[in-house]
Amino acid sequence: MTARVAAPLPPATTIGPVGWLRKNLFSSPSNSVVTVVMAILLAWIVVNLGAWVVVQADWTVIVSRVPLYIVGLYPYEAYWRLTICLLLISVLLGMTWRAWPDTARRFSYGFGAIMLFVGVFPHEMAPVHRALLLLNLPAIGLGYMLTPRAGESGPGLLEAIAGGALSSMLDRAAVRLATAWCSVVRALLPSLYGVAFRLATAWCRAVAALSRMLDRVAIPLATALRRPARALAPALDRAAIFSTPRRMLTAVVVALVVTMILILGIDGVPGLDPVAPQDVGGLLINLLLAFFGIVCSLPIGIGLALGRRSSLPVVKVACVIFIEVIRGVPLITLLFMSRHILPLTLPEDLNVDRVYLAGITITLFSSAYMAENVRGGMAAVHPGQAEAASALGLRGWQTTLLINLPQGLRNIIPAIVGQFISLFKDTSLVYFIGMLDLVEMGRVSVQGNQEFIDNGREVYLFIALVFWVFCFSMSFISRRIEGNLGVGRR
């Protein structure tokens, strides 16, 4: 009988952190030199920039004007509407986290961290607004708890209360406490027998009293909540708005409508006095323009791409002309045309605010580029897919909508998100037509106040950081979606 010889272990310098460094940073003399030089340069930048940020920079221009950068000239008495919008977004984000945990979990963490930072950071903000911002954290948890996971059949929160599970849950908690304490006592028993025995006896009595008290509280509470919980249990199923595509679309539409009503107001409703569009500024106007452009440019771009691939000459020529004309003109030119030339062609009694004109212009500009991305993705689908669909008896429109378009969109997820990021950054150009976006608010804060005339670096570094956070978030979500769909692997 021969003895089994264990396989030799790889050299220690080829595995672990040391192996990774040798493979990626010090694989050759030239790579080693580049790594050392870049490390020295990076360390110099970090040290000097960190010293300037912590010691030399004066952040008063940011801390004292946070509402101005975020919402512009939005009326102070209507700030509660914006916090309600954030709470609605937090609940939807919690539901998304529950439905798609792999994609939305870290994004929920980041959003909650931002709300916590803004809520506790020492800047000029009313306590009630700080409290409403901090409520976004439990709002995320509420959306998470009230939404069943996809494919999950277990009882939700309301069903658990309706079934009287509250008492048993508390009893289990008491048992866990007793078990943990007994483990500690067992470890200390050899050296502290007498003291440990007395402590264990006292603890067991306390746990028994606590269990009886919890029973006296939990059983009446569960009994009192059983009837309303059973009445609300059907609503829990309806709250799972992301369980089907139809519910997801309905939730997005409802959230969009409610958000726009809260932000802009509506005539005749107490507490929702209309807000002039020109008073909506700061980061809020950038986010609104970006959201409107993202939601509308994708379907318009898909329609233009399908029209350009159409066999109908009129439709194809019209789509080609639109795409090529829009792509051939800079966005800043289109914004100036929408602000100064387009109103001349409209009836005199028709007055369209520049905010809406800017949103339409940015949307049409982005849709032209989106159309070419979609067309390229559909062209990359193997012709065998269409031939197989034709062999199965699918019609042309069925092949396009069910075969070519889904695979084409999957192929161009990086390009789509890249276009969305570019659209968000392009919203900063609206300050050229007199809109008070985040960039314009920063310029006004510096040039309009003599005391802050030397704080331009702090302001624009803050603006760059804000844009980077949103762009990186979109890029992060894109990578998660690509990973779930297997883009580039199959």
Same domain membership, residue 396 and residue 286: yes
Co-location of 161 and 148 in the same domain: no
Confidence class for position 56, pLDDT limits 50, 70, 90: confident
Instruction: Tell me the residue length of the chain.
Output: 490
Q: What is the mean pLDDT of residues 139-163?
A: 57
- The H-or-E segment that residue 211 falls in is helix 193-239
pLDDT digits (tens, 9 = 90+) for 183-212: 555 555 454 445 555 655 666 666 666 666
Q: What is the CA radius of gyration of the chain?
A: 30
Q: Is residue 249 part of a domain?
A: no
In a domain, 6, yes or no: no
- Whether 442 maps to a domain, the answer reads yes
Q: Is residue 235 part of a domain?
A: yes
**Res. 261: pLDDT tops 60:** yes
Q: Is 484 exposed, middle or buried (0-12, 13-18, 19+ CB in 10 A)?
A: exposed
Residues 314 and 454 in one domain: yes
pTM: 0.74
The stretches of 427-489 forming alpha helices (DSSP H) are 438-447, 456-485
Output the CA torsion sign for 287, 289, 292, 298. negative
3-state secondary structure (DSSP) of residue 411: helix
For residue 319, what pLDDT is reported?
Answer: 93
Whether residue 10 is contained in a domain is answered as no
> Are residues 138 and 88 both part of a single domain?
yes
Same domain, yes or no: 213 and 120: no
- Do 447 and 323 have their domain in common? yes
In a domain, 73, yes or no: yes
Asked, for residue 1, whether it belongs to a domain, the answer is: no
| In contact, 146 and 236? CB cutoff 8 Å | yes
* Chain mean position to CA 130: 21
269: containing domain: 66-152+254-485
What's the pLDDT tens digit per position in 235-248?
555 545 455 556 66
Q: Which two tokens stand for residue 93?
A: 């984000």
Q: Which residues pair with 437 in a beta bridge?
A: 282
User: pLDDT at position 157, please?
Assistant: 46
- Cα gap 46→51, rounded to integer Å: 8
pLDDT above 80 for 333: yes
Q: What is the mean pLDDT of residues 261-266?
A: 85
Give the pLDDT confidence of 93-130 residue by residue, as tens digits: 887 777 777 667 777 888 888 888 777 776 667 777 77
- My answer on whether 360 and 230 are in the same domain is no
Query: 2 in a domain, yes or no?
Result: no
* Same-domain check for residues 176 and 294: no
| 3-state secondary structure (DSSP) of residue 437 | strand
How many structural domains comprise the chain? 3
Q: pLDDT band at 40, cuts 50/70/90?
A: very high
Q: How far is CA 437 from the centre of its chain?
A: 21
The CATH number linked to 86 is: 1.10.3720.10
Between residues 181 and 100, the one the model is more confident about? 100
- b/e 434-449 (16+ beta carbons within 10 angstroms → b): ebbbbbbbbbbbbeee
Which of 239, 269, 304 is the C-terminal boundary of a domain? 239
pLDDT tens-digit series, residues 437-485: 899 898 888 888 888 888 888 899 999 999 999 999 888 888 887 777 7
The secondary structure of 240-309 as a DSSP string is -TTSSHHHHHHHHHHHHHHHHHHHH--TT-TT-----GGG--BHHHHHHHHHHHHHHHHHHHHHHHHHHT
Q: What is the 3-state secondary structure (H, E, C) of 167-208?
A: HHHHHHHHHHHHHHHHHHHHHHCCCCHHHHHHHHHHHHHHHH
| The two three-digit tokens of residue 106, written as one number | 């870290």
Do 34 and 128 lie in a common domain? no
* pLDDT band, very low/low/confident/very high, at 279 (cuts 50, 70, 90): confident
Domain end position, chosen among 186, 209, 239: 239
pLDDT in tens, 308-329: 988 889 999 999 999 999 999 9
307 and 376 belong to one structural domain? yes
Whether residues 25 and 119 fall in one domain: no
Chain centroid to Cα 185, Å, comes to 47
Give pLDDT, residue 229: 54
Mean pLDDT estimate for the chain: 78
pLDDT of res. 95: 78
Whether 104 contacts 93, CB under 8 Å: yes
Q: Answer with the one of 239, 274, 297 that is the final residue of a domain.
A: 239
Residue 479 and residue 370 share a domain: yes
Higher pLDDT among residues 450 and 421, named by residue: 421
The per-residue b/e assignment along 93-107, b for 16 or more CB within 10 angstroms, e otherwise, is bbbbbbbbeebbeeb
Percentage, residues of the chain above pLDDT 90: 19
